[in-house]
């Protein structure tokens, strides 16, 4: 029987994804022929930004190489353009004279970059940014010329500008509106973006209209309508796209802005379909891959089923993320305030974080996240489902606002149906199933099996996290490591190792020697570098407060209304009438709105304005409880042998001794401990980073427990006889954790990653290493800073700098 012929015009992202979907359903039913104007196999256009930025090369962005076409028996005419569609004879004719019959014709001709029709726009050195040729031209221009101007401050323009900066060009962006990315961001987010990009070295000319392009044969500059000029050796136009519908229109297929299609991607002509940026569905021609891939799935279904099935394509909710290292931007749906909308806003100018969630009729209809975008999958899910948020608190809508903002634990808390990869519409459940069923151990494998992370790559950290979480103890050597952040290609471990081996001592030095891609780093790498430097040089390194998160800088936890909470240290959860009287007096004097007992057995004074913090600390005259820090938080104790009839050990005495010894020590994440004097475990030792349980004549130590989002029982580390052995084991364990865990990795994740047996083999079995770890811990303890509250209240300058100048806003 004759196979049916499919002809595809356009070898780009949407067309080939449609073919992939068809082949999944019907690997042998069709003879497939593809015309591609560009002389390459199918590549990832999105990652051209990364090629320009030097993070990737052209070979790495090929999605399907020539072998793939051969394996699938597909004929590809690369570099040959389809010029005519003869609907009567059902053939396509090409520029090189080929004539191909079709039973099904798919048009996926994408878009063309829009070139402003300015006088001089045809000069040498004036280009677009759309394909491999443009990218290569920019890279080669950077070797000869110095001054680049990008016209257009949208997604494409900013990604191009970042690339040109990486190529060492002086880069200016000319934008016709007063705000960058005004189609995706509101004013505050746009302002923050501009500040951060300026700090990276980009220069902006806002609200400028270009009148003409100056120069002889090659471009020499721009002239604006206000009469001013700007010199340029290279001009990149990034001012939007125009769907490529000319061939379809000339062939008698109905077009408007693009090729008109119905819910099944059918055009006005039988057996001719359109998909991708060249298609217009319900008045919208999309310019991002996620909707195009959804269309591809529908079209594959339509062609394979030989009839219309189901509801077809119903339009897409789009979202964008900017691919520029050092800035995290997310935008979806309605992002401007409207008459019938309300917004939840969080704005932290210290950490450079802005979040706005737009709500209409108790449903999330849009969001802008700047500086921290971990909440984006959950918000998208809420928007897609139209979830009623009545009664949901801010920490449910923005889970990363929870105390401590547990970086890295977000996928653990996600539901199986929640989307991990927006571009490819892949949810958590699909990925977990593939990891388990197919034994996947790397992001690359997950990519191949599920398509997740195969497009913009923005979801890679989530995929990596999910992989590590799903594999747990099995996550061994094969697990592919992710870079620390967009500012570097090095992993946490590599940066730590370089700091140690190259004896780097300052943040700036780390960034210079390790070729950081941004001049100032970002909110992910700066705190991590600061931490690694502190661990490597405990005596010499001077902590950098500007690399600390806001809570650590202010030595108090910021609350959702912009006030702070103050938690004084109560060693082992033990207090006395003097302390209680002092707390009561301070609470009265400062009208503290809420006093609350914490889970760590101390008293939290909530609702204190920032300006009052130093006076409150002074009046309390108690040490800081470090309730805000990546450090030892509390050592919870049960009453133990002195009072409890079951107690066999002095849990309070041991708990206080431990808390006094390790108090103020920097750790990769917060550390909680507990001491119970018998297996009844009243201090909840089983869910602590290190839990100690008294048994007849001995102590059992449990490691890697967690009572937070990721509930986990600790595992037995060892059983020892004396309190001295307990302390030595804690020193070895904590020091090994400090030196080997990634910054922001809780002990439960760290042990899950490296395995408890490994930790035991180092800190218990290897006597030499145990001794060395204990010695290094002692050195770190000798170098501990004085109590931070005291150091601020006794230093007028510090007090003024921190508490009387800058502004932290948290708007609700």
Ligand X SMILES: NC(=O)c1ccc[n+]([C@@H]2O[C@H](COP(=O)([O-])OP(=O)(O)OC[C@H]3O[C@@H](n4cnc5c(N)ncnc54)[C@H](O)[C@@H]3O)[C@@H](O)[C@H]2O)c1
Ligand Y SMILES: Cc1cc2nc3c(=O)[nH]c(=O)nc-3n(C[C@H](O)[C@H](O)[C@H](O)COP(=O)(O)OP(=O)(O)OC[C@H]3O[C@@H](n4cnc5c(N)ncnc54)[C@H](O)[C@@H]3O)c2cc1C
Of the candidates 151, 379, 638, 792, which one interacts with ligand X according to CB under 6 A?
A: 151
- 756 scored as a contact of ligand SF4 (CB under 6 A): no
Output 419 or 507, the one with its CB closest to ligand FES: 419
Cα(328)–Cα(243) distance, rounded to whole angstroms?
29
Maximum distance among all Cα pairs of the chain, rounded to whole angstroms:
97
Q: Considering the complex, what minimum distance in angstroms separates the CB of residue 174 from ligand Y?
A: 18
Burial class (CB in 10 A: 0-12, 13-18, 19+), 615: middle
Q: Which is nearer to ligand Y, 36 or 496 (CB)?
A: 36
- What beta strand segments (E) does 377-532 contain? 419-421, 426-427
Quick note: the x/- pattern for ligand X over 63-102, rule CB under 6 A, is ----------------------------------------
Q: Which of the choices ligand SF4, ligand X, ligand FES, none does residue 154 contact, using the CB cut-off of 5 to 8 A by kind?
A: ligand X
Given 296, 573, 647, 707, the residue binding ligand SF4 (CB under 6 A):
647
Q: What 3-state DSSP class applies to 693?
A: strand
- Residue 423 found at the interface with ligand FES (CB under 6 A): yes
CB of 194 to ligand FES, least distance (A): 25
Q: What stretches of 492-602 adopt beta strand conformation (E)? A: 557-558, 564-566, 594-597
Residue 226 C-beta-side C-alpha neighbours within 13 Å: 8
Q: Least Å distance between CB 301 and ligand Y?
A: 18
For ligand SF4, the binding residue among 427, 514, 629, 677 (CB under 6 A) is 677
Q: How far apart are CA 802 and CA 567, in angstroms?
A: 19
User: Restricting to residues 619-638, which ones interact with ligand SF4 according to CB under 6 A?
Assistant: 638
754 within 8 A of 479, measured Cβ to Cβ: no
Of 631, 676, 706, 793, which lies in the binding site for ligand SF4, with binding defined by CB under 6 A? 676
Q: Which residues in this chain contact ligand Y in the complex, by CB under 6 A?
A: 9-15, 35-38, 45-46, 48-49, 81-82, 108-111, 129-130, 156, 244, 247, 276-277, 287-290, 292, 323, 423, 456
d(CA 263, CA 295): 9
Report d(CA 754, CA 166) in Å as an integer: 36
CA-based torsion, 113, 118, 122, 124: positive or negative: negative
Count of residues of this chain found to bind ligand FES when the rule CB under 6 A is applied:
12
Residue 428 sits in the site that holds ligand X (CB under 6 A): no
Among 461, 640, 707, 752, binds ligand SF4 (CB under 6 A): 640
Q: Which of 457, 573, 600, 694 binds ligand FES (CB under 6 A)?
A: 457
Among residues 307, 304, 281, 305, the alpha carbon closest in space to that of 294 is found at: 281
Least distance CB 649 / ligand SF4 (angstroms): 8
Q: What are the tokens at 549?
A: 């998160």
Chain position carrying tokens 């009469």: 227
Query: Would you say 443 or 566 has its CB closer to ligand FES?
Result: 443
According to CB under 6 A, which one of 681, 718, 723, 766 is a site residue for ligand SF4?
Answer: 681
Q: Does 239 bind ligand X (CB under 6 A)?
A: yes
The partner residues of 272 in beta bridges, in order of sequence, read 105
Closest approach of ligand FES to the CB of residue 451, in Å: 8
Please enumerate, as own/partner, the contacts of 614-618 that have beta carbons within 8 Å and a separation of 24 or more.
614/792, 614/793, 614/799, 614/803, 615/590, 616/566, 616/586, 616/590, 617/566, 617/789, 617/790, 617/792, 617/793, 618/793
- What is the smallest separation between the CB atom of 265 and ligand X, expressed in angstroms? 19
**Which one-letter DSSP state was computed for residue 742?**
P
User: Which of ligand Y, ligand X, ligand FES, none sits in contact with 457, Cβ below 5 to 8 A by type?
Assistant: ligand FES
Reduced to 3 states (helix: H, G, I; strand: E, B; else coil), residue 279 is strand
List of E strands, 301-438 = 319-321, 329-333, 342-348, 353-360, 363-370, 419-421, 426-427
Q: Does 323 engage in binding with ligand X (CB under 6 A)? A: yes
User: Is-contact 41 69, C-beta < 8 A?
Assistant: yes
Taking the C-alpha atoms of residue 647 and residue 695, their distance in angstroms, rounded to an integer, is 9
Stretch that binds ligand FES, among 64-72, 115-123, 335-343, 454-462 (CB under 6 A): 454-462
CA 514 – CA 525 distance, rounded (Å)? 12
Please report, as residue ranges, which positions from 210 to 229 form the binding site for ligand X (by CB under 6 A). Answer: 210
Contacts of 606 (CB under 8 A, 6+ apart): 559, 563, 565, 592, 593, 594, 595, 596
Select the span of 173-181, 492-500, 517-525, 604-612 touching ligand X (CB under 6 A). Answer: 173-181
Interior angle at CA 499, CA 494 and CA 501, nearest 5: 90
Stretch that binds ligand FES, among 72-80, 371-379, 451-459, 537-545 (CB under 6 A): 451-459
Residue 459 touches which member of ligand FES, ligand Y, ligand X, none, C-beta under 5-8 Å by kind: ligand FES
Residues 419 and 727: their CA atoms lie apart, in Å, by 45
CB closer to ligand Y out of 9 and 654: 9
Distance (Å, whole) CA 582 – CA 579: 5
Contact between 456 and ligand FES (CB under 6 A)? yes
Please select the residue that binds ligand FES; options are 41, 458, 496, 655, rule is CB under 6 A.
Answer: 458
Residue 682 annotated as part of some ligand binding site? yes
Note whether 296 binds ligand FES by CB under 6 A. Answer: no
Is 638 annotated in a binding site? The answer is yes
Contact between 455 and ligand FES per CB under 6 A: yes
Tell me which of 183, 385, 502, 680 binds ligand X, using CB under 6 A: 183
Decide if 579 contacts 567 (C-beta within 8 A). Answer: no
427 belongs to an annotated ligand binding site = no
- Residue number with CB closer to ligand FES (485 or 692): 485
Using CB under 6 A as the binding rule, whether residue 422 contacts ligand FES is answered as yes
Nearer Cβ to ligand X, position 11 or 320? Answer: 320
Answer for the pair 5, 30: CB distance below 8 angstroms, yes or no.
yes
Q: Is 174 in the site for ligand X (CB under 6 A)?
A: yes
10 Å Cβ neighbour count for 250? 12
Nearer to ligand X, 117 or 391 (CB): 117
Residues of the shown chain interacting with ligand FES in the complex, contacts defined by CB under 6 A? 421-424, 452-459
Binding-site sequence positions: 638, 644, 678, 682
Binding-site sequence positions for siroheme: 682
Binding-site sequence positions for [4Fe-4S] cluster: 638, 644, 678, 682
Residues of the shown chain interacting with ligand X in the complex, contacts defined by CB under 6 A? 116, 151-157, 159, 174-177, 182-183, 210, 238-241, 287-288, 320-323
């Amino acid at each position: 029987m004759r196979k049916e012929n499919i002809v595809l015009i356009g070898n780009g992202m949407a067309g080939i994804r449609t073919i992939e979907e068809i082949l999944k359903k019907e690997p042998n039913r069709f003879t497939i022929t593809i015309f591609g104007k560009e002389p390459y196999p199918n590549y990832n256009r999105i990652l051209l930004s990364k090629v320009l930025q030097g993070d990737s090369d052209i070979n790495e962005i090929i999605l399907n190489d020539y072998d793939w076409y051969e394996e699938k028996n597909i004929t590809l005419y690369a570099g040959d353009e389809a010029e005519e569609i003869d609907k009567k004879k059902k053939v396509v004719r090409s520029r090189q004279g080929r004539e191909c019959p079709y039973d099904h014709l798919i048009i996926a001709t994408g878009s063309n970059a829009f070139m402003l029709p300015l006088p001089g726009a045809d000069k040498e050195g004036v280009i677009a940014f759309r394909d491999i040729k443009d990218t290569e031209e920019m890279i080669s221009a950077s070797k000869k010329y110095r001054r680049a101007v990008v016209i257009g401050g949208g997604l494409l323009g900013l990604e191009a500008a970042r690339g040109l900066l990486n190529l060492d060009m002086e880069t200016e962006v000319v934008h016709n509106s007063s705000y960058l990315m005004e189609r995706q961001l509101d004013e505050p987010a746009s302002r923050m973006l501009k500040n951060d990009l300026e700090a990276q070295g980009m220069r902006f000319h806002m609200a400028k209209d270009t009148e003409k392009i100056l120069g002889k044969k090659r471009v020499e500059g721009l002239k604006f309508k206000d009469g001013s000029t700007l010199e340029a050796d290279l001009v990149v136009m990034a001012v939007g796209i125009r769907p490529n519908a000319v061939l379809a229109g000339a062939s008698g297929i109905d077009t408007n802005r693009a090729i008109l299609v119905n819910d099944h991607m059918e055009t006005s002509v039988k057996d001719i379909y359109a998909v991708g940026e060249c298609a217009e569905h319900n008045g919208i021609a999309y310019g991002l891959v996620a909707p195009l891939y959804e269309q591809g799935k529908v079209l594959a279904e339509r062609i394979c089923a030989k009839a219309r099935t189901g509801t077809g394509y119903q339009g897409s909710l789009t979202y964008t993320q900017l691919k520029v290292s050092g800035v995290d931007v997310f935008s979806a749906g309605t992002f401007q305030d409207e008459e019938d909308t309300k917004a939840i806003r969080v704005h932290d100018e210290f950490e450079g974080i802005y979040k706005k969630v737009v709500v209409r009729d108790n449903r999330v209809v849009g969001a802008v996240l700047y500086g921290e975008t971990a909440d984006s999958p959950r918000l998208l899910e809420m928007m897609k489902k139209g979830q009623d948020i009545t009664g949901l608190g801010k920490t449910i809508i923005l889970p990363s606002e929870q105390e401590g903002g547990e970086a890295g634990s977000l996928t653990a808390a996600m539901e199986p149906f929640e989307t991990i990869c927006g571009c490819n519409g892949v949810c958590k459940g699909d990925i977990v199933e593939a990891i388990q069923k197919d034994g996947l151990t790397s992001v690359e494998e997950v990519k191949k099996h599920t398509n997740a992370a195969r497009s913009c790559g923005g979801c890679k950290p989530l995929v990596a996290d999910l992989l590590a979480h799903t594999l747990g103890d099995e996550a061994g050597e094969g697990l592919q490591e992710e870079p620390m952040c967009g500012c570097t290609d090095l992993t946490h471990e590599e940066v730590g190792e370089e700091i140690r081996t190259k004896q780097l001592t300052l943040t700036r030095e780390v960034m210079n020697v390790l070729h950081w891609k941004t001049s100032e780093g970002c909110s992910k790498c700066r705190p991590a570098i600061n931490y690694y430097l502190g661990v490597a040089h405990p005596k010499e390194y001077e902590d950098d407060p500007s690399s600390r998160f806001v809570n650590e800088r202010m030595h108090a936890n910021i609350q959702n209304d912009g006030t702070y909470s103050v938690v004084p240290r109560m060693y082992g959860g033990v207090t006395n009438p003097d302390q209680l009287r002092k707390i009561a007096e301070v609470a009265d004097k400062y009208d503290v709105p809420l006093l609350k007992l914490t889970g760590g057995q101390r008293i939290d004074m909530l609702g204190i304005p920032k300006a009052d913090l130093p006076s409150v600390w002074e009046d309390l005259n108690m040490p800081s409880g470090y309730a805000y820090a990546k450090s030892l938080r509390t050592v919870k104790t049960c009453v133990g042998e002195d009072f409890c009839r079951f107690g066999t050990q002095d849990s309070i005495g041991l708990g206080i001794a431990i808390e006094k010894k390790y108090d103020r020590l920097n750790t990769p994440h917060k550390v909680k401990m507990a001491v119970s004097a018998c297996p009844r475990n009243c201090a909840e030792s089983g869910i602590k980073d290190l839990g100690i349980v008294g048994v007849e004549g001995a102590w059992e130590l449990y490691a890697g427990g967690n009572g937070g989002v990721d509930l986990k029982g600790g595992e037995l580390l060892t059983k020892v006889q004396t309190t001295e052995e307990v302390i030595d084991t804690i020193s070895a364990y904590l020091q090994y954790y400090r030196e080997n865990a990634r910054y922001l990795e809780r002990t439960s994740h760290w042990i899950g990653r490296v395995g408890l047996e490994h930790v035991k083999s180092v800190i218990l079995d290897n006597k030499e290493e145990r001794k060395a770890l204990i010695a290094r811990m002692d050195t770190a303890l000798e170098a501990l800073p004085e109590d931070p509250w005291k150091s601020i209240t006794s230093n007028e300058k510090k007090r003024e700098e921190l508490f009387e100048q800058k502004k932290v806003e948290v708007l609700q």
